[in-house]
Chain A
Amino acid sequence: MTDNTKTLETVREWTLGLPGKISAGPRWVRVLLLVVGLAFCVYLPFLDVLPFAYIRTDLGEGGSDWASTLFTITLYMIIAAGLNVVIGWAGLLDLGYVGFYAVGAYSLALFGSPNSPVTQAIAAQFGLPTGWAMAFAACVPLALCLALISGVALGTPTLRLRGDYLAIVTMGFGEIIRIVMRNSSWTNGASGITKVPEPPAPDKDFFSTMLPERWYWLALAVLVLVIWLLRRLENSRVGRSWLAIREDEDAAAVMGVNGFKFKLWAFAIGAALGAIAGLLFATKQASVEPNLFQLNLSFLFVAMVVIGGSGNIWGALFGAFLITYLPERFREFEAWRPLAFGLALVVIMVLRPQGLFPNRRRARELEDRKHEAEEAAADA
């Protein structure tokens, strides 16, 4: 081993050991780091100190607005966190995640916008004044409910299927949702719905398109909440059951874990998080149309989780960051983006099936399987 690789090895060990060292450290260190980290995230849109400002996406000609990019990154991080529950923790490959994203976006648009056929029909039915629409705050629980219902409705028949069948069926579901939105009159068909409401704010211009950093902070707040909830969930009874099911469903069943029930939970929770992200997207966008929810997005979402390292929430977040940030920063290569994704998916999965920052347990599982294969080859 040369000196060079030795140094690399030491650096790698030190970095990988860092989270452990921090969590072993005194409480005030952890709290301080958390506060500093959050403050930095909040400050990010204004980052203007030179060597660091190179990460901004709006330096060059025609670059995209930095705060809006941050919003998109945060939005996709929420999605990655949600999909990580389904793929990473419960081990179910869901290729129709964009369907739930669309359900969230559309439920806000359908019930919250005065322009949607649904609110107009309700208003006409109950003699409400024209221009009536449900309040944003009322649409949020409604969107969550609809997402949970669609998650359970999709999950109940399909979760008994083998893993790869499940992938195809969920993909079909994502397409069906889009085609229904495109072809139905109650969703305004292909032209979509405008005037999606804004979140409640102290004054009318609080959330305006001129101030994208406020949208970013909103998304950031949601993301922090989601991460906090999911971290609690991971170490709960439910999280442990998911782990058991993923590693060996039969063994888990013998131990009294109801596989179907917990898979359905994973599906429903993933659906709800996808809907929250869709809702944020719709309100920032101010209008929705079926073409915004193409199936490619589903693959993008899966790529984020898998490249980052499925099973590790931080890995998934990092994957979301990479996949959203890099194409925005290097916009001149935008047209090459899908090709690069495809290549990255193949190369990373072949070389590192566990992803860039895998969950430690998950990596060990894969290592185990590899040894089994080698032993079997040696026996043969």
Chain B
Amino acid sequence: MDFSNLIEGLGGYTIDGLTKGSIYALVALGYTLVYGVLRLINFAHGEVFMVGAWTVLGVYTALGADSGVGVPLAIGITLLAGLVAATATAGTALVIERVAYKPLRDKNAPRLIVLITAIGCSMVLMELFGHAFKVWFPGAQFGRAAVNIPTIIPTQEAFSIGGVGVSNIDLIVIVAGVAMMIVLDQFVNKSRLGRGVRAVAQDPDTASLMGVNKDRIIVLVFVIGGVAAGLAALLHTLKYDFAKFDMGFLIGMKAFTAAVLGGIGNLRGALVGGLLLGICEVYSSAVISSNWEDVTAFVILVVVLMFRPTGILGESLGKARA
């Protein structure tokens, strides 16, 4: 226990926590949307995120980008990588839904069985990157070891508030993360398609009577979640610069915790929960030790589920749902 450490570096830890939290929030969005509409924990979502990180690495490698490129080119490459990653993750999420979830939904199978196919999917995805691709593409860098991703945007201090320096990477991650959450929130709350999402979340049968194509909404939800995970992966590579076959597991767990913390099925809850969890984690590792960082998330999850299972903001994508 070392509170003086935390208090001395409070500003820096907070920025660090917010950076982490924005990434969690974007991943949590995928859990929250799918849960809100289907009442299903998309267990394989963390692996969707992992696919995104590898895609970013792939784009960098294909373009031969490394830390030497100039600023305008670096921004262009980053945006392109984000686009490709978002497409890849949305595609992955969609394939998972078609292969593993839809057939079971048609059979009206219990949710636990769907959870098991989801675990199967995440194992398959992990092993594809951790083993199969290594065998199939001997030249590429796939495998069990973490692969370094070149930092094409070099870290430098952007500005400082009260003596606390904020790096350009932290700034990009936090601003981009929060902006994307706001855009998605507006999309779900204001647009026509978003109304469809809320309608299906509230009452699938009535929504289909009102002319909402339930199947298309489900596809949409998986695509949005996938896109958010892809963008989160891009931000993650900017900040932590690596890709690893099992990176999705911990991030998925924590994002799920964030979603539950904020209120699963609630978009704004995902943002609140993500930022809060990021800060809690960084603070706790400052106070105790970074060895225990992962335990913090699990303990928070258990405590929230015990005392307020609906999370901080309550769990409703469609407001009327009890």
User: A residues engaging B (CB < 8 A)?
Assistant: 91, 93, 95, 157-158, 161-165, 167-169, 171-173, 175-176, 179-180, 182-183, 295, 299, 302-303, 306, 335-336, 338-339, 341-346, 349-350, 353, 366, 369-370, 372-373, 376, 380
User: Which B residues from 62 to 102 make CB contacts under 8 A with A?
Assistant: 99-100
List chain B residues, Cβ under 8 A from A346.
99-100, 117, 120-121, 124
CB distance A336 to B131 under 8 Å? Answer: yes
B295 CB contact (under 8 Å) in A176, A366, A372? A176
Q: Given A165-B305, A165-B309, A172-B253, list of 20 further CB < 8 A pairs?
A: A93-B112, A164-B41, A164-B111, A169-B301, A173-B298, A183-B289, A183-B291, A183-B292, A302-B116, A336-B127, A336-B131, A338-B123, A338-B127, A338-B131, A342-B119, A342-B122, A349-B120, A350-B100, A350-B103, A380-B208
CB contact under 8 A between A167 and B112, given known A341-B120, A341-B123, A349-B117:
yes
How distant is B304 from chain A, measured CB to nearest CB, in Å?
10
Inter-chain CA distance A353–B289, complex, in Å, is 44
A339 CB contact (under 8 Å) in B117, B127, B253, B299? B127
CB distance A345 to B309 under 8 Å? Answer: no
How distant is A47 from chain B, measured CB to nearest CB, in Å?
33
CB distance A345 to B108 under 8 Å? Answer: no
Main secondary structure of the interface of A (DSSP, over half): helix
CB distance B111 to A163 under 8 Å? Answer: yes
Inter-chain CA distance A345–B99, complex, in Å, is 12
CB distance B115 to A299 under 8 Å? Answer: no
CB distance B99 to A335 under 8 Å? Answer: no
CB distance A299 to B208 under 8 Å? Answer: no
Closest 3 CB pairs of A and B: A345-B120, A342-B123, A373-B108
Main secondary structure of the interface of B (DSSP, over half): helix
CB contact under 8 A between A169 and B305, given known A349-B113, A369-B107:
yes
CB distance B124 to A343 under 8 Å? Answer: yes
B117 CB contact (under 8 Å) in A171, A341, A345, A369? A345
List chain B residues, Cβ under 8 A from A164.
40-41, 111-112, 115
CB contact under 8 A between A168 and B301, given known A342-B123, A342-B127:
yes
List chain A residues, Cβ under 8 A from B125.
342
User: Which B residues from 139 to 189 make CB contacts under 8 A with A?
Assistant: none
User: Which B residues from 195 to 210 make CB contacts under 8 A with A?
Assistant: 205, 208
List chain B residues, Cβ under 8 A from A303.
116
Q: Mark B193-228, 1 if CB is under 8 A from A, else 0.
A: 000000000000100100000000000000000000
Inter-chain CA distance A299–B122, complex, in Å, is 11
List chain A residues, Cβ under 8 A from B8.
none
List chain A residues, Cβ under 8 A from B103.
350
List chain A residues, Cβ under 8 A from B116.
93, 302-303, 306, 345, 349
B109 CB contact (under 8 Å) in A165, A176, A180, A369? A369
